Structure 1
Amino acid sequence: MEHWNQLINTALLGTAKKQAGSAGMSGPLLQTADTILAQTDTDKEDKFLQLAAVLYNYRQSGTQPITANVAPMKVCPPETKAYCKPAAIRVLHQVLETESIQLLQLWLEYCVKANVLVPPAQLPLILDKGWRNKSLRALVAATGGQRAAWLGHFNPDWNFSRVADTIEDRWQNGATAQRVEALKELRATDPVMARTWLEQSWPRESVTVKTELLSVLEHPADPADIPWLESLLTEKSKQVKETATRILKKLPGSSLHEKYWQIIAGAIQPDKYGQVTVALPEITDESIFQSGIEKFSSDKTVTDDTHVLYQLISSVHPSRWEEHFHRDTERVIALFQQQESLKPFIPALVLAIAWFEDKERALSFMQHSETFYIDIIPLLPAAQQQEFGEKFFDEHPDAIIEYACKHQEEWSLQLCTRIFKYAATQPYTYNQQFMNNHIRLIPVSIAAVLDNITPVEAYHTGYWNNIKVHLGRLLQAKSQVQSL
């Protein structure tokens, strides 16, 4: 309609430059337009708006509504489990006020253990929390019941609530992140099948996706993967080759690991007098350096040969030394500590224990070493992690806190007290968000000693006091959850 286009031009230019008119109109529409434009007590802006209203409704006249066949909405199936009790809902409100995801996780774990459901009134909020925090999704799906799965049909963000999804479904049809998680789940229960899935889909994957999926095979590394991983070293993608190489380095028996060991075994030899000589032979195999071993030392006090040998030792499984020296773990550790030629490589041996996640030798090393090595802490049993964390806290406070935050069990009161005394000196680092993120590790009993923990610097006092007040609310909510 030309008169509508004219009206649009007036809107674009403004009534000061182009006034609305009745050009192109006819019949009753022209009469109405002339009546509007003839008004003497109305300004040109009002005339424009009145004319626009008339034209808009004129254009809509006779328009047929869109019809569609819409399937009737399915009714939510009845629940087979009971909803949680009012007391638990009151605790939920207290937990949500703290904005701590870990506390919400604890509350949902209570619901799973009690075999009860989140009530309908709170369910949308909990589903939204699950959408924003992947760590909650399995718990939300388990406590959402039929209603959560039903709501997932209407909101794509809540689709994770459909508990009927299988690992195969997520692997075949999910986004990359979902496929990675599905592969991790299968890897934990059936590593051979996980690798088989990956081999079958490999030709169809993009380079970026290949790298993400391949990284799943690293935890845990499986010797049965060696032949396929070694075949990937001919891939065009640098990222894929680097990922495959990194995993092969964690697999004793791989050709790369054996090459490393052959060089080390030739370089470090005991003589008939019980002394160990160290002399790195010339390395002619360039694949050693292409695998990530640096040729030259950046430290003027360390020779190139020592630097190369240090890297090789840190990349070879510690059990090889027991075979090489015909000694058990304790005697191998003692040999490294006693022989002057081997002492520079003790940290490399520690790195090897950490690299191969050798928990048995980690504990033995900590028990028989005169030096504390922080890299071994995550491999120790929970009790020993806390024990050594307390004992050597002052030497490595930040590193011990970092490892402590990965514990599966609550901190002891002693370790927690040490952490908070240090946190009081660094309140901008160990702030309210830190407390939110690690509240499940913090024992409720720490509340009794919080008032005795004060900052060294006076200007930290106000900020630390705010943190303590917030922590008090978290501990109270945690106590309420634990008492359900």
Structure 2
Amino acid sequence: MTPWEDLVSTALVGTDRRPLPGAPAGADPAVELLERAAVHTVRVRAGQRLRAGTPLEAAPPEEQPVVSRAAADRLARILGGERPRLLAEWLQTAAGRGYRLAPHLLPELLDHAARDRSIRPHVGILAGHRGRWLAGLNPAWGFLLEEVTAARPRPEVWELGTSGDRRAYLAALRAADPGAARELLAAAWEKETPEDRAAFLELLGEGLSLDDEPFLEAALDDRRIEVRHRASELLTRLPDSRLGRRMAERAARRFAVARGRLNVDPPLECDAAMERDGIRPKPPRGMGEQGWWLRQLVSRTPLAVWRDLLGHSPRELVRMKVVDWGREVMAGWVRATVIQEDPEWARELFASDPLADLLAVLPRGEQETLATDFVRGHGLDGQLIMVLGGVAAPWGQELSRAVFHKILEVSGTQPWNLGELTKLAGERVDPALHGLAERLSPEPPIQEVAALLRFRDDMLKELS
């Protein structure tokens, strides 16, 4: 047995059962064991022979401007644990303005990005050439080599760039010329990986029109379910598409209004044609097959169909008694509203069941008005937090005032219940309103929000 193996064996069984030979009298056996292990480790490392290697090439020179010293110092504080929930906002703002990180911050931020996929697109821009040079040396940071490298990628990246660069270029082209973007993607479609095909399809949501329908209809036959599902969702947003007409025909056989009630006859099977159109046959755990198929059928049916099919407005349908399958039908309508971005249905469904996803369908001003009324008339609970989470940031003055007053109201009765609301307010309220919070009340929860808003205001100014 080697000396190291002897030490390991002793450590495993314990020094009281296997005394260390030659241990000094009166010495703590455990301490002596650790000291011997430390000495052995140093001896082994010092005794290794040097190996010849190839000198590393220097990182390429940078092209992007580095963030200011103040901005870099603030990021270091965030990475160190001060206001950690603001990391994504700092990164998104800095990347959107075309900055790169100070080099000394790269290792710690790359470690963060290795654990948190959501920040990787921003880190790809901020890391610069040195970040990608480091990623080539450390496999744990290898993800960076596939991320977007510039806020405004050039056309040549479509052939030579990373996956992230290609997505960014296609998105920019789609915003400027939807037809050209679709033709570019169609020309390369067969050569793309399934993962890239699914990611590229998602970008076609910008500028979507019936001109895209033939390409998307063909994508329903793709061998990967992720690609088929994304194509189906996009076609669902086109009520006059062939998929929309097929779904309308299925719905017509399943729904009828009689005596003021909505009668539903759910599908008995999920056939190959339904599966091709995006209906998944296997339900989630705890849900029956027929209810699962019904929910998906409703979510894929054009919302404009229901008025003609059933002879009632969205308001009347949302309030109508549904025989046996009400939960599935309502969930399908909610999903359809989110996919098809229909404001009329969003208003009626939100009035019936305030869900955060429905707010995103409405214009920004209307989002804030509905959320303000909800805050004023609803107690502090999980649903209030979820509704506020669905309102686009930054919040304007009216909603901010309502939230501040809710914090004051609850601070007198349930101060222990304020944690998430104060954090959400500090992260979503327009940071320029920090003075409004500071002047409103000296109560600690309000001043805590004011301090977070001032922190964000200073942070954004440093990145301007």
Same fold, judged at TM 0.5 (above): yes
Out of 342, 353, 360, the residue aligned to residue 337 of structure 2 is: 353
Whether 2:230 is the aligned partner of 1:243: answer yes
Whichever residue aligns with residue 165 of structure 2, its letter is: Q
Q: Is the 8 A contact 2:282 2:289 kept in 1?
A: no
**Cα deviation, residue 261, structure 1:** 0.7
Aligned partners of 1:270 and 1:277 also within 8 Å:
yes
Q: Distance in 2 between matches of 1:107 and 1:71?
A: 31
SS in 2 for 1:243: helix
> Deviation string for 1:49-68 (max 9, x for gaps)?
9xx99xx99xx9xxxx9999
Instruction: Give the corresponding residue for 1:319.
Output: 304
Q: From the superposition, tell whether residues 152 and 135 of structure 1 become closer, same or farther in structure 2 (CA, over 3 Å).
A: closer
- How far apart are the structure 2 equivalents of 1:332 and 1:72? 67
Q: Does 1:379 align with 2:361?
A: yes
- Aligned pairs for 1:290-329 (under 5 A) are 290=275, 291-292=278-279, 304=290, 309-324=294-309
**CA 1:482–1:225 in structure 2 vs 1: closer, same or farther (change >3 Å)?**
closer
1:211-226 counterparts in 2 under 5 A? Answer: 211-218=198-205, 221-226=208-213
* Pairing partner for 2:313 from 332, 337, 340: 332
Instruction: State the Cα distance separating 1:380 from its structure 2 match.
Output: 1.8
Corresponding position of 2:454: 476
Instruction: State the alpha-carbon separation in 1 of the partners of residues 151 and 184 from structure 2.
Output: 21
What one-letter code is carried by the residue in structure 2 that aligns with 1:352? A
Task: Name the CA distance, whole Å, in 2 between partners of 1:295 and 1:73.
Answer: 50
Question: For 2:204, what is the secondary structure of its paired residue?
Answer: helix
Equivalent positions of 1:394-433 (< 5 A) are: 394=378, 396-404=383-391, 406-410=392-396, 412-417=399-404, 425-426=416-417
Query: What is the TM-score normalised by the length of structure 1?
Result: 0.57
8 Å Cα contact 1:263-1:280 kept in structure 2: no
User: Larger RCO: Structure 1 or Structure 2 (Cα < 8 Å, ≥ 6 residues apart)?
Assistant: 1
Q: State the 1:265 CA deviation.
A: 2.4
Given that 1:314 and 1:351 are in contact with CA atoms closer than 8 Å, whether structure 2 keeps it comes out as yes
Residue matched to 2:38: none
Question: Which secondary structure state, in structure 2, belongs to the residue aligned with residue 236 of structure 1?
Answer: coil
2:313 partner amino acid: V
Report the counterpart of residue 24 of structure 1 in structure 2.
none
- d(CA) in 2 for partners of 1:309, 1:316: 11
Aligned-pair distance for 1:336? 1.6
CA-atom RMSD in angstroms: 5.6
C-alpha distance in 1 between matches for 2:356 and 2:61: 57
Which of these residues, 174, 190, 193, is aligned with residue 203 of structure 1?
190
* Aligned-residue offset at 1:237: 3.1
- AA aligned to 2:364 is A
Contact 2:407 2:422 in 1 (8 A): no
Q: Which amino acid aligns with 1:203?
A: E
Segments of structure 1 that go 5 or more residues without pairing to the other structure are 1-11, 13-48, 142-147, 455-464
- Give me the whole-angstrom Cα distance separating, in 2, the residues matched to 1:430 and 1:101: 19
Post-superposition offset of 1:210: 2.6
Can you list the C-alpha shifts for 1:3-51, whole angstroms capped at 9, x where unaligned?
xxxxxxxxx9xxxxxxxxxxxxxxxxxxxxxxxxxxxxxxxxxxxx9xx
Q: Distance in 1 between matches of 2:59 and 2:87?
A: 33
Counterpart in the other structure of 1:264 = 251
1:447 aligns with 2:438: yes
Structure 1 counterpart SS, 2:155: helix
* 1:103-182 matched pairs, under 5 angstroms: 104=90, 124=103, 166-182=153-169
C-alpha distance in structure 2 between counterparts of 1:178 and 1:66, whole Å? 33
Q: Could you tell me how far apart the structure 1 residues matched to 2:75 and 2:265 are?
A: 61
CA distance in 1: counterparts of 2:215 and 2:255, whole angstroms: 32
- In 2, Cα distance between the equivalents of 1:232 and 1:166? 27
| CA deviations over 1:103-161 (Å, ceiling 9, x no partner) | 7469859989xxxx99xxx95468889976556579969xxxxxx88x78987899999
Query: How far, CA to CA, are the matches of 2:394 and 2:228 in structure 1?
Result: 34
How far apart, in 1, do the equivalents of 2:210 and 2:204 lie?
11
In structure 2, distance between residues paired with 1:66 and 1:237: 44
Partners of 1:156 and 1:281 lie apart in 2 by: 53
Contact 1:183/1:194 (8 A) holds in 2: yes
Change (3 A) 1:293 1:258: farther
CA distance in 1, matches of 2:349, 2:214: 35
Partner residue of 2:372? 390
Cα drift, residue 262 of structure 1: 0.9
Summarize the Cα distance change of 1:138–1:436 in structure 2 as closer, same or farther, 3 Å threshold.
farther
Q: Is the 8 A contact 2:261 2:320 kept in 1?
A: yes
Distance 2:402 2:105 in 1: 33
In 2 relative to 1, CA 263–130 (structure 1 residues): closer, same or farther, beyond 3 Å?
A: same
Unmatched segments (≥5 aa) in structure 2: 5-42, 80-85, 114-118, 137-143
Larger radius of gyration: 1
Residue 173 of structure 1: how far off its partner (Å): 1.8
Report if aligned partners of 2:264, 2:322 keep a CA contact under 8 Å in 1.
no
Q: Deviations over 1:325-356 (max 9, x none)?
A: 56xxxx60343256545893455434322221
Distance 1:155 1:298 in 2: 43
Measured at CA, do residues 138 and 333 of structure 1 come closer, stay the same or move farther in structure 2, by a change above 3 Å? same
Mapped to 1, the partners of 2:61 and 2:298 lie a distance apart of 64
1:231: Cα distance to partner?
A: 2.0
Deviations 1:220-270 (A, max 9, x none): 654322222222333333443333334333432333332221122244456
Distance in 2, matches of 1:401 and 1:172, equals: 42
| TM-score, normalising length: structure 2 | 0.59
Counterpart of 1:278 in structure 2 is: 263
Alpha-carbon spacing, 1:409–1:201, altered in 2? closer, same or farther (3 Å): farther
Q: Structure 2: how far apart are the matches of 1:183 and 1:238?
A: 22
Distance 1:139 1:447 in 2: 36
Cα offsets for 1:360-414 (capped at 9, x unmatched): 5434x369x565454421112222222222332436123113213x435456322
The letter of the residue matching 2:453 is: L
- CA spacing shift, 1:123–1:258, aligned 2, 3 Å: same
Query: How do residues 357-372 of structure 1 correspond to structure 2 at under 5 angstroms?
Result: 357-363=341-347, 365=348, 369=351, 372=354
Which whole-Å CA distance do the structure 2 matches of 1:127 and 1:203 have between them? Answer: 37
CA 1:440/1:72 → structure 2, altered by over 3 Å: closer, same or farther? same
Relative to 1, partners in 2 of residues 1:420 and 1:129: Cα closer, same or farther, differing over 3 Å? farther
